[in-house]
Amino acid sequence: MKKEFYVSNLDATDLNMHYCGYEKCAHNHYYGPATRDHYLFVYVKSGKGKYRIKEKTFEIQQGQSFFLFPGYAVFYQADSINPWEYMWVGFYGKLSYRYLQYINVSPNHPIYNFQNSARMESLFKKLFSELQLKRRFDEIFCTGILHLMFHEMARGSSCILDQSSLRSGDPSEKYMEKALHFIHMNYTEHISASLIAGHVGLERSYFSKLFKRLTGRSPCEYINRHRLDKAYALLCSGAVSVEHVAFSVGFRDPLYFSKAFKKHFGFPPSHTGKNLK
């Protein structure tokens, strides 16, 4: 059984909830390898499974959580005997990276261990209960719950961080964070690897190699993938034409957009969601 709720955010703020949900997975159920353009917090309520990121595999069990990071290819799979039941929150915003530092979580250390998971489960239950009511201003409630979730993890973190420790860490991750934020804010414009490299303060060739190493894609490939994912969401709404969507997500040639879309998704944009005739 799987249930997922999407949150309508009017404007991007410092910390936004994108969606949330829960699932009791079947034996060996898996996701990936794949990347996302946002963060994902996954809390394991029961059972166990495995999670792989940056060529490292982690065994995850009840009472633990793991995080997905924008641009990083990941794979996770439920156990063959005792598959997990988990709950998740997708989020984004410029405070995301700082909050993850508060709880000592990064692509190199993507696991968080709960000392007492009852409070976190209670927050998830409140979140799901509220969203099922489909009331106005849900995004305000969801943002508040997300802050409380990070507060709960920060309080329970075994790592007490000072400002000097917050400034330390893998420099490549900070460059990647800045690059992905720039892409996500400017993907509708004409952006290139050179432009992004200049924004983060790196030489273009070095930046491109670093980006490919960390995400598994070149900057150009990542930008196009992000644009196509955004286009798919727009087309599912049925609110605009295929040509309008192409220009809205940064493609200047609608014909090229249609070919790229079909190659990526396996069907033409005119056969997507409410655009399906």
Q: Report how far residue 197's alpha carbon sits from residue 218's, in angstroms, rounded to the nearest whole number.
A: 12
Find tokens 């065994």 and name the residue: 59
141: Cα separation from own chain's centroid = 20
DSSP 8-state class, residue 81: S
Bond from prior residue into 110 cis (ω within 30 degrees of 0): no
pLDDT on residue 163: 44
Domain 2-156 falls under CATH 3.40.718.10: no
From start to end of the chain, where are the E strands? Answer: 2-6, 16-24, 30-34, 39-46, 48-53, 56-61, 64-68, 74-78, 85-92, 111-113
Of the candidates 210, 214, 274, 204, the one whose C-alpha atom is nearest the C-alpha of residue 239 is 274
Measured between alpha carbons, how far is residue 43 from residues 21, 85, 113, 114 in Å? 11, 9, 10, 10
Low-confidence residues of the chain: pLDDT under 70: 1, 3-4, 6-13, 137, 157-170, 237-240, 273-277
pLDDT on residue 84: 97
Q: Report how far residue 223's alpha carbon sits from residue 120's, in angstroms, rounded to the nearest whole number.
A: 35
Q: Report how far residue 233's alpha carbon sits from residue 228's, in angstroms, rounded to the nearest whole number.
A: 9
With vertex at residue 38, the alpha carbon angle to CA 9 and CA 153, rounded to the nearest 5 degrees, is: 90
The 10s digit of each residue's pLDDT in 88-107 is 999 988 788 888 888 989 88
pLDDT on residue 239: 57
What is the number of H-type helices and E-type strands within the chain?
10, 10
With vertex at residue 104, the alpha carbon angle to CA 28 and CA 168, rounded to the nearest 5 degrees, is: 130
3-state helix, strand, coil in the chain (%, to 5): 45, 25, 30
pLDDT on residue 4: 67
The pTM of the full predicted model, rounded to 2 decimals, is 0.63
- Domain-by-domain residue ranges, the chain? 2-156, 170-277
pLDDT on residue 185: 84
Domain 170-277 falls under CATH 1.10.1660.10: no
